[in-house]
């Protein structure tokens, strides 16, 4: 078969890709993964008993909204990286802003606190398990996100895998917030960020191998 005939044959079988196909696949991944993440949190760790009371505390909402913003930014980034030729552009700013804001609030509150309270604001009661717990709760979303990414066409597999990890970790950390007793901004700025960074690194490593064409 001649080259021109092969090209014509391939072109004849080409079908237009549905608009927003990548976004829909990641939305499905979240729809499947988040309920499973909630189930893991509820079964393995349990919802905090004073959850209704904490709904009136501003720091609880900061702890919840912060990873949600990270997940949204990760969603925008990964669905762009999943399509060849689509630039991420300012979506990186959407990821950096919530992290920088939490760091700024954490530093300001740490500096304003009495010296004897500062260590507790950083270490809290659960620093040893926080990063691991977030990673475990993130797993259902992480697996579903990589499966969605595998069905698409990322040209930067490591970066796309990292973005899938960021989106998954943001969702997982938001779910974990329903259990976590910590409310200090310095704690969130350190341990929650590390907890979300670990799936991002894992996504980059896995994506480099799994998502290559």
CA-wise closest residue to 178 among 51, 88, 93: 51
Q: Which domain holds residue 76?
A: 21-210
Examine residue 9 and state whether it is found in any structural domain, yes or no.
Answer: no
Split at pLDDT 50, 70, 90, the class of 213 is low
Q: Does 34 map to a domain?
A: yes
Q: Is 176 inside any structural domain?
A: yes
Say yes or no to pLDDT of 104 above 50: yes
pLDDT at 198 over 50: yes
According to the model, what pLDDT value does residue 139 have?
97
**Each residue's pLDDT tens digit, 9-42:** 444 544 544 557 888 999 999 999 999 999 999 9
Of all residues in the chain, what percent are helix, strand and coil, respectively (each to 5)?
A: 75, 0, 25
Sign of the C-alpha dihedral computed for residues 81, 64, 192 and 59 taken in this order: positive
> In the prediction, which pLDDT does 145 show?
95
CA gap 150, 103 in Å, rounded: 34
Does residue 46 lie in a domain region? yes
Give the global pTM.
0.89
What pLDDT sits at residue 18?
Answer: 57
Q: Tokens in use for 45?
A: 């760790």
Q: Is residue 4 part of a domain?
A: no
With vertex at residue 201, the alpha carbon angle to CA 198 and CA 206, rounded to the nearest 5 degrees, is 120
Count of the separate structural domains present in the chain: 1
Assigned domain for 111 exists: yes
Q: Write the pLDDT tens digit of every residue in 133-187.
A: 999 999 999 999 999 999 888 889 999 999 999 999 999 999 999 999 999 999 9
Assigned domain for 49 exists: yes
Q: Assign 85 a pLDDT band (cuts: 50, 70, 90).
A: confident
Say if 13 falls within a structural domain.
no
């Amino acid at each position: 078969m001649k080259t021109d005939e092969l090209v014509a044959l391939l072109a004849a079988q080409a079908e237009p890709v549905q608009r927003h196909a990548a976004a829909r696949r990641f939305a499905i991944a979240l729809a499947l993964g988040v309920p499973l993440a909630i189930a893991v949190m509820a079964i393995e760790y349990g919802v905090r008993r004073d959850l209704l009371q904490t709904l009136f505390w501003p720091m609880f909402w900061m702890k919840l909204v912060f990873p949600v913003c990270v997940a949204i930014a990760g969603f925008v980034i990964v669905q762009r990286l999943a399509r060849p030729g689509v630039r991420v552009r300012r979506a990186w700013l959407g990821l950096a802003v919530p992290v920088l804001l939490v760091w700024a609030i954490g530093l300001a509150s740490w500096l304003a606190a009495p010296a004897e309270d500062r260590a507790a604001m950083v270490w809290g009661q659960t620093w040893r398990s926080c990063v691991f717990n977030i990673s475990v709760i993130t797993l259902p979303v992480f697996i579903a996100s990589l499966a969605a990414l595998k069905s698409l066409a990322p040209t930067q597999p490591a970066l796309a895998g990292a973005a899938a990890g960021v989106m998954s970790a943001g969702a997982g950390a938001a779910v974990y917030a329903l259990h976590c007793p910590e409310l200090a901004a310095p704690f969130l700025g350190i341990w929650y960020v590390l907890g979300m960074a670990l799936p991002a690194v894992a996504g980059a490593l896995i994506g480099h191998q799994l998502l290559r064409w």
